C-alpha cells in the first residue's frame, strides 16, 4: 500500500516514555507514526525502534508553540505522508514553583507549552478532520487539570485550560464524527526521571505501583477504537496504590 494511502497518528511531544509508547502502539496497528519534539535528533531511537518492528515512522523537530511551525508541519504531513486520523497532544510542562517566586515569563511559558500548543495543533488538525468527517484528538492531562496543588499554580492553570479546550472541542466536533478525549494521568510513570529523582516511588514498580507507559498507550488505542455510539470523553489512569 502506498504510504500516502495510510492513516497517520501524530504524536506531539513524543518523549522517551509515554509519548514514545503511544507512537509505537499506533504504529503496531499499521498507522504511520509521525512524532515530534523540539529536537528531531532525540527522536531517532524511537523511529528506529518502530521501523525495526516493521512499522513506519517519521520524526519532526518543531516548536509546538509557534503557529507558523505548526501550520507548516500539518501541511507537510497531510501533503507528503497521509491523512492525520489521530492527534495525540502529549506535552507536559510540569514545573513546580512557589507562587511567591514564580516569574511572569515562566508562568507564560508553561501555559504556552501545556495549553496554547495544544490549541494550535488541535485546531490545524481539526480543520482537516472536519473535511473528512472522521478523526480522533486525544489530550494528555493530569490531576492538576482537576485541582490545583501548592507550588504548581502555573501547571494547574495550564492543565485546567487544556481540559476546558478539550471539553469545548468535544462538544463542537463530536457531531462531525471527530472523537475528542482527555486523559487524566495520575501517578508516577516508569521513566528515568522517576528512577533517578524519586527512588522510593520507583521501588513500587514491582508492585505495579507506578504507571507503565505501554499500558497507558493501550488506553489511547482503546479510545481511538471505541464505537461512536459509546465514546468516552474523559479517562482517568492511575495505579491501584495511588490515592485520589
Q: Looking at the domain assignment, is residue 135 inside a domain?
A: yes
CB 32 within 8 A of CB 81: yes
Q: What is the CATH number of the domain that holds 147?
A: 3.40.50.720
With respect to residue 102, please indicate whether it lies within any of the assigned structural domains: yes
Task: List all residues 6 or more positions away from 15 whose beta carbon is below 8 Å from its beta carbon.
Answer: 37, 90
No. of H helices and E strands in the chain? 9, 7
Q: Give the model's pLDDT for residue 165.
A: 98
DSSP letters for 185-211? E-S-BSSHHHHHH-HHHHGGGGGT-SB
Q: What is the pLDDT of residue 1?
A: 43
**Region 200-205: what's the mean pLDDT?**
90
Site of grid cell 518502530: 50
- Percent above pLDDT 70 for the chain: 98
Question: Is 60 within a domain?
Answer: yes
DSSP, collapsed to helix, strand or coil, labels residue 15 as: coil
Segments of 40-173 assigned E as strands: 57-61, 84-89, 135-142
Is 62 contained in some domain? yes
pLDDT of res. 198: 84
Asked if residue 243 belongs to a domain, the reply is no
3-state secondary structure of 121: helix
Decide: 37 and 14 in contact? Cβ < 8 Å.
yes
Q: Tell me the torsion sign for CA atoms 179, 183, 189, 194.
A: positive
The edge-to-edge listing of strands for the beta sheet with 84-89 is 57-61, 32-37, 8-12, 84-89, 135-142, 178-185, 234-237
- Evaluate whether residue 244 is within a structural domain: no
Average pLDDT along the chain: 94
Higher pLDDT, 167 or 193: 167
Q: Quote the pTM value.
A: 0.95
Residues 153-189: pLDDT tens digits? 999 999 999 999 999 999 999 999 999 999 999 888 8
Overall number of domains in the chain: 1
Q: Does residue 212 form part of some domain?
A: yes
**pLDDT for residue 117 is more than 60:** yes
Give the pLDDT mean for 98-123.
96
Has residue 73 been placed in a domain? yes
pLDDT at 223 over 80: yes
Q: Which residue has the higher pLDDT, 32 or 1?
A: 32
The 10s digit of each residue's pLDDT in 44-98 is 999 999 999 999 999 999 999 999 999 999 999 999 999 999 999 999 888 889 9
Q: 30: domain range?
A: 3-237
What is the C-alpha to C-alpha distance for residues 136 and 158, in angstroms, rounded to an integer?
Answer: 22
Asked if 39 and 47 count as a contact pair (C-beta separation under 8 A), the reply is: no
> Does residue 4 carry a pLDDT above 80?
no
Amino acid at each position: 500500500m502506498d504510504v500516502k494511502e495510510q492513516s497517520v497518528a501524530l504524536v506531539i511531544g513524543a518523549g522517551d516514555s509515554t509519548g514514545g509508547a503511544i507512537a509505537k502502539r499506533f504504529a503496531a496497528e499499521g498507522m504511520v507514526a509521525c512524532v515530534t519534539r523540539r529536537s528531531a535528533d532525540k527522536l531517532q531511537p524511537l523511529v528506529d525502534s518502530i521501523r525495526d518492528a516493521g512499522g513506519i515512522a517519521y520524526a519532526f523537530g518543531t516548536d509546538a508553540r509557534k503557529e507558523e511551525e505548526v501550520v507548516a508541519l500539518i501541511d507537510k504531513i497531510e501533503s507528503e505522508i497521509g491523512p492525520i486520523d489521530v492527534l495525540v497532544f502529549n506535552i507536559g510542562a510540569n514545573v513546580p514553583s512557589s507562587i511567591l517566586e514564580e516569574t511572569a515569563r515562566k508562568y507564560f511559558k508553561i501555559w504556552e507549552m501545556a495549553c496554547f500548543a495544544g490549541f494550535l495543533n488541535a485546531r490545524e488538525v481539526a480543520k482537516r478532520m472536519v473535511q473528512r468527517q472522521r478523526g480522533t484528538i486525544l489530550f494528555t492531562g493530569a490531576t492538576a487539570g482537576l485541582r490545583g496543588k501548592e507550588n504548581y499554580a502555573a501547571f494547574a492553570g495550564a492543565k485546567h485550560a487544556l481540559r476546558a479546550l478539550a471539553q469545548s472541542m468535544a462538544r463542537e466536533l463530536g457531531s462531525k464524527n471527530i472523537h475528542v478525549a482527555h486523559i487524566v494521568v495520575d501517578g508516577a510513570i516508569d521513566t528515568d526521571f522517576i528512577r533517578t529523582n524519586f527512588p522510593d516511588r520507583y521501588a513500587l514498580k514491582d508492585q505495579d505501583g507506578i504507571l507503565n507507559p505501554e499500558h497507558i498507550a493501550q488506553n489511547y488505542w482503546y479510545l481511538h477504537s471505541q464505537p461512536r455510539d459509546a465514546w468516552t470523553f474523559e479517562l482517568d489512569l492511575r495505579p491501584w496504590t495511588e490515592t485520589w
